[in-house]
Structure 1
């Protein structure tokens, strides 16, 4: 049995994220250590660099302070157990950053969260997970904090810069792909929780959508970790091969960018793939991905209503608005509030100065989260859980997403764009 918490984890994530935003806006801006190396001599020199050591120490204290506050708010204050486990998680995430800072790896565009996941999987499946690390495995909290911080980089003005095209594509793709995925999971006999999380992950924005959906339906954490692992693993070949397919097919930058942004499920992978096709393609890829991210709040609200009306486990005939509110993932409200704050409230110079540091902190929380996911996941289970049906459903749904989004990208960003230009 889980210990009763004094404050819901969603609200704790929102509080920590907005304290972070407040400190960054006020001028306290911790940064990630920076590495770029081609040989071991370069690497060790940069690790021993005083500025990097300061950044590493500051980030550790920042995260430790955040987690101590989270434990205090949750009524579960165990600083000693948390300290030792967090050191290990931070060191694993740092190793992932060192790997991705290698020039050859950096040229491939592979993001740090992927190597955080891989290193965690290696330790969990090959070495074994020590018990003293487990108190610091706060996967959902790390991701929820990162998602609220993600809202600071979802600027509505950036989305509207591309007109309504990105929003039109996102709405068409999200609703169609979500319904197809939901139907497919039902045909394969998956339970309702898997159906909801897989459908949202494939159609909306990958990990972020899976977490939001799990919060809305109070889903099983093991199922959520399984879906997140699928998202990350499938994103790798998509990120590496889709840009070359776009070049081979002679797609315009707008169509290619919209295709990448609408199908690849992690924002970092979208940026990496879009960069391979040039600035124009990257622009449209980012706009479409941001448009899908904006739909996250609406999707979570609709899922909350659907789940409340179709899963009556609370002993009443009809769910009330209170039921919907209790199920609604509160960190999504933080995501929306952060986006509105940076889009319409804060002065432009403050936004410009704060977005970079907040983006780095968001990346850091995500890296810690994916390290934890790897540490908690048995790689062999990915294709063994329910006889591999979740993995099969995810892969088939993603293939449908790839082809359907390509068609929509041509219709919206090729024919429609030409019509606007000629009118």
Structure 2
């Protein structure tokens, strides 16, 4: 007589709880660092730094001075991957098709040309300088689109080591910070209109917080147009990441090809942009979602810091930093030239 067949439940609660317990210590650690980063950001001395940047610095300091506990590793990895992707999807609620339309066709073409030229230039110069291809690609993405968020989103298809991600984030942070301080000197020097200056800041400065910090110093009109321009630039993250995934797939020899690394979370980002374009979401709710999104991104960056070893960063030398500086000069100069010619 046969024993009754064991029923297999598609939803195994015990396995789910076990998985939750394994990631909880790391999640609590990254959440604590993200919360502390938000607190530090409120201090006047550090208010010019994005909480994302503060979070990765805190994570690196914790890991290299104290050490990341072994039992936190699973949760740290969960923050770096799953939470990051969910946060990028939520960024879609900060952008509408109507905002993109305000930039105009000429502005959108200019942003796309600057993005593409900066990405190609950075990759080319990276090869000439001998910078590792994956690291150069991350610096290219961070410089051409939207700083740290672009770096970590692009790495879903680049698949670079965590130290490369941290180095690329450091590059865009340093040079984006310099841009935030230096750009406000140019409207008067170059006789830029608020529209021109806003377009320049939005199309070339790395982080959105840095764009806001630089552009509003020239007035409300420049600041608002720079913000819209920057959000339109962020929207181009989706085609870039999908395009890179396709290139990496079809660029390999047939026998070495893996499935196309289609980043489904990017499609979620696009879907929420569409939803935000047709459904009116109360301003208070959007602000709450934006704050929650920033917190989740800070958790992801804190996780990145907790996986970053300073010794490995030092081993990469100064060439990637030089590449980040050259990319910064290129995106600033090339975008300004196009604006002077067209805007």
**TM-score > 0.5, shorter chain as reference:** yes
Shift of the alpha carbon at 1:151? 0.7
Aligned-partner Cα distance in 1 for 2:68–2:205: 31
Shift of 1:260: 1.5
Cα deviation 1:191-225 (Å, max 9, x = unaligned): 43234322222222223333333223444444333
Please state if 1:240 is matched with 2:163: no
Residues 79-228 of structure 1 mapped to structure 2, 5 A cutoff: 79-103=20-44, 105-106=46-47, 109-137=48-76, 138-228=79-169
Q: Cα gap change, 1:369/1:291 in structure 2, threshold over 3 Å: closer, same or farther?
A: same
1:275 maps onto 2:275 in alignment: no
**Aligned CA-pair RMSD:** 2.6
Q: Is the Cα contact below 8 Å between 1:382 and 1:388 reproduced in 2?
A: no
Contact 1:238 1:264 in 2 (8 A): yes
Which residue in the other structure is 1:49 paired with? none
1:367 pairs, out of 298, 301, 309, with: 298
Deviations 1:375-415 (A, max 9, x none): 22234544531x333222222112111111121222233xx
CA gap of 1:310–1:190, structure 2 versus 1, over 3 A, is farther
5+ unaligned residues in a row in structure 2: which ranges? 1-12
Matched, 1:407 2:303: no
> Could you say if the C-alpha distance between residues 103 and 205 of structure 1 is closer, same or farther in structure 2, counting changes exceeding 3 Å?
closer
Match of 1:315 in 2: 255
Shift of 1:177: 1.1
Q: Does 1:358 align with 2:292?
A: no
Aligned to 1:327: 261
1:206 and 1:228 in contact (8 A); partners too: yes
- Would the aligned equivalents of 1:169 and 1:288 in 2 still touch at CA under 8 Å? no
Within the alignment, does 1:256 sit opposite 2:197 as a pair? yes
Residue 29 of structure 1 is matched in structure 2 by none
Tell me the distance in 2 between the aligned counterparts of 1:356 and 1:397. Answer: 33
The number of residues matched between the two structures is: 328
- Is 1:288 the counterpart of 2:209 in the alignment? no
C-alpha distance in structure 1 between counterparts of 2:46 and 2:143, whole Å:
26
From the superposition, tell whether residues 197 and 114 of structure 1 become closer, same or farther in structure 2 (CA, over 3 Å).
closer
SS of residue in 2 equivalent to 1:269: helix
Which deviations, in whole Å up to 9, do the C-alpha atoms of 1:281-316 show, x marking residues without a partner?
11221122122112122222322222122223x626
Q: Would the aligned equivalents of 1:217 and 1:327 in 2 still touch at CA under 8 Å?
A: no
TM-score (norm 2): 0.85
Matched residue, 2:319 = 389
CA distance in 1, matches of 2:299, 2:57: 12
TM-score (normalizing by structure 1): 0.70
- After superposition, the C-alpha distances for 1:153-185 in whole angstroms (9 at most, x for unaligned) are 111101212322330221120111111112111
Pick 1 or 2: higher relative contact order, CA cutoff 8 A, min separation 6. Answer: 2
Distance 1:130 1:233, change over 3 A: farther
Distance 2:72 2:24 in 1: 9
